[in-house]
Amino acid sequence: MTERFDGPALPGTSSADPMMELMTESVSPQGFDYLIVGAGFAGSVLAERLANDGKRVLIVDRRPHIGGNAYDRYDDAGVLIHPYGPHIFHTNSREVFDYLSRFTQWRPYQHRVLSSVDGQLVPIPINLDTVNKLYGLNLTAFELEEFFASVAEPVEHVRTSEDVVVSKVGRDLYNKFFRGYTRKQWDLDPSELDASVTARVPTRTNRDDRYFADTYQAMPLHGYTRMFENMLSHPNIKVMLNTDYREIAAFIPHGHMIYTGPVDAFFDHCYGKLPYRSLEFKHETHPVEQFQSVGTVNYPNDYAHTRVSEFKHITGQKHDQTSVVYEFSRAEGDPYYPVPRPENQELYKKYAALADAREDVTFVGRLATYRYYNMDQVVAQALATHRKLSGQKTGAQAVTTG
């Protein structure tokens, strides 16, 4: 089984220090081939792959648990929840799905989202039923294409999130579904944000009400945490939680470092902080079997929260109570979403140049490369990074994927 150490973040140099004694007993004289910072998807996949190659791996995380933001647990009512908001797995990559299948069985699940607009709950992404219900119409799929064409506003050069939406579905649907939600999420108008923000949400002319259209859509049968436990359960892997890597790196012999944390923090914010949006979560348990009809309901125009998610839809758990989470976008807090503006990418490039110059560290994952990735993209990036590392012992890698 994987060895884990919980303890104070700073091991002292005295032989009387219990954590130092523990580490001295547990670490071989050769130390570790790799020190991995962060036990989320990127770090855990790389730890498993490198350990499978026969490498000795120490993985550390400042949080008290593995799994990063995908960590799940049972709340006081016995409902399996995602403390950091709902994490829905979906991918088109057979390689990624097959790899994760080594560590979990799956429960088929196709996520559905409703949006509260004009006093009604209608499907999002916008589809045939959305338009018909919202406007009291009875359009066919062919007629919906004509409807979109009639309301779309021509945009010669699509540059912003506003351009993406109004050029497809027009100003009214943009205002109903996107403008308010985006302003709450980013504290910026869509006209101030890169086109990538809204380009991720498709528009459909059929009645497909699935939020994702990926080939593989499923949830880990026993939860993400169990999957991560299986991934890290290798005799070559040691795990330290509640630990700042800076406070143990000098005491524990190790070779190459893999860093999955914020790249600006690694370099002590020498060029300034990279801007992120954060999230605040309000968890509630209700004495009913079902709180809402789908996994997530968006609130683009009403209330301070952006969405409400009910976990039992997502996990398939049977329970006489149910737990939900309200999400609020915040300017401060843990980094979740890089703010997609040109000036922020220019700032990141300065840090990327520093990362490229480090031959002893590989930078991988969302925070280390200042990009928003879905979970499957992080896994794919980590697998690609392993392939590069397996042919070399050191070398700077600020790994990105398209």
Query: Is 137 found in the same domain as 50?
Result: no
Check which CATH number belongs to the domain holding 239 and give it. Answer: 3.40.50.720
Query: Is 136 found in the same domain as 170?
Result: yes
Which residue segment(s) compose the domain that 153 sits in?
A: 125-199
Query: Is 12 found in the same domain as 145?
Result: no
What's the pLDDT at 309?
A: 98
**Given 337, 363, 380, which residue is the final one in a domain?**
337
User: Within a domain: residue 226?
Assistant: no
What's the pLDDT at 3?
A: 53
Query: Is 135 found in the same domain as 41?
Result: no
User: Within a domain: residue 213?
Assistant: no
Phi-psi region of 119 (alpha: psi -120 to 50; beta: other; left: phi over 0): left
Q: How many domains does the chain have?
A: 3
**Given 147, 174, 199, which residue is the final one in a domain?**
199
What's the pLDDT at 6?
A: 54
Distance CA 334, CA 322 (A): 27
Query: Is 366 found in the same domain as 265?
Result: yes
In the chain, the amino acid numbered 165 is V
What's the pLDDT at 1?
A: 45
What's the pLDDT at 391?
A: 76
User: Within a domain: residue 205?
Assistant: no
Q: Which residues pair with 259 in a beta bridge?
A: 37, 363
User: Within a domain: residue 117?
Assistant: no
Query: Is 346 found in the same domain as 331?
Result: no
Contacts of 101 (CB under 8 A, 6+ apart): none
Residue segments in the chain with a per-residue pLDDT below the cut of 70: 1-30, 392-402
User: Within a domain: residue 222?
Assistant: no
Q: Which residues pair with 343 in a beta bridge?
A: none
The upper half-sphere exposure of residue 219, i.e. CA atoms within 13 Å in the direction of its Cβ, equals 24
Phi-psi region of 233 (alpha: psi -120 to 50; beta: other; left: phi over 0): beta
Query: Is 386 found in the same domain as 288?
Result: no
Beta strands in 229-321 (DSSP E): 237-241, 254-259, 276-286, 296-298, 307-310
pTM (2 decimals)?
0.89
Distance CA 398, CA 354 (A): 10
Query: Is 343 found in the same domain as 195?
Result: no
Query: Is 361 found in the same domain as 242?
Result: yes
User: Within a domain: residue 83?
Assistant: yes
What's the pLDDT at 199?
A: 77
What's the pLDDT at 195?
A: 86
Backbone dihedral angles phi then psi of residue 281, each to the nearest 5 degrees: -115, 135
Tokens of 315: 């996990």
Distance CA 118, CA 164 (A): 23
The per-residue pLDDT for range 230-251, each reduced to its tens digit, is 999 999 999 999 999 999 999 9
What's the pLDDT at 28?
A: 52
Query: Is 237 found in the same domain as 90?
Result: no
Query: Is 393 found in the same domain as 258?
Result: yes
What's the pLDDT at 29?
A: 54
Query: Is 142 found in the same domain as 35?
Result: no
User: Within a domain: residue 210?
Assistant: no
Pairing of strands 307-310, 73-74: unpaired
**Given 199, 224, 255, which residue is the final one in a domain?**
199
Distance CA 29, CA 47 (A): 20
What's the pLDDT at 10?
A: 32
Q: Which residues pair with 121 in a beta bridge?
A: 116
User: Within a domain: residue 217?
Assistant: no
